[in-house]
Amino acid sequence: MEVSRENIEELIHSYECSQRHALAIMQDMQRRYQYIPREGLNALAKYLGCPVSSLYAMATFYKALSLVPKGEHIIKCCDGTACHIRGASTLIDGVERELGISPGETTSDGLFSFETVNCLGSCAMAPVLVVDDVYYGRVTPEKLKGIIQTVREGGAK
**Choices 3.40.30.10, 3.20.20.150, 3.20.20.70, 3.60.21.10: CATH for 73-152:** 3.40.30.10
CA–CA dist 22, 85 (Å, integer): 38
Distance CA 63, CA 104 (A): 11
Task: For the chain, give the mean pLDDT.
Answer: 94
Number of residues that make up the chain: 157
Tell me how far the alpha carbon of residue 89 is from its chain's centroid.
20
Annotated ligand binding at 78? The verdict is: yes
62-88, pLDDT tens digit by residue? Answer: 888 999 999 999 999 999 999 999 999
pLDDT for residue 2: 81
**Across residues 8-32, what is the average pLDDT?**
96
Instruction: Please state at what angle helix 88-99 crosses helix 141-152, rounded to 10 degrees.
Output: 40
- CA dist., res. 91 & res. 141, Å (int): 6
- What is the torsional sign of CA 18, 22, 23, 26? positive
The answer to whether 32 and 11 are in contact (CB under 8 A) is yes
- Least confident window among 44-48, 62-66, 89-93: 62-66
Three-point CA angle 39, 41, 45, nearest 5°:
115
Banded pLDDT at 1 (limits 50, 70, 90): low
Which pLDDT score, from 0 to 100, does residue 64 have? 83
CB 76 within 8 A of CB 115: yes
Which pLDDT band holds residue 20 (cuts at 50, 70, 90)? Answer: very high
Give the per-residue pLDDT at 34. Answer: 87
What would the DSSP string read from start to end of 102-126?
A: -TT-B-TTSSEEEEEES--S-GGG-
Q: Beta partners for 129?
A: 77, 136
Q: State the average pLDDT over residues 132-138.
A: 94
119 carries a ligand binding annotation? yes
Is pLDDT above 90 for 157? no
**Would the annotation count 50 as a binding residue?**
no
Give start-end residues of each CATH 3.40.30.10 domain in the chain: 73-152
108 contacts 133 by C-beta, under 8 angstroms: no
Mean pLDDT, residues 9-32: 96
Q: What is the pTM of this model?
A: 0.78
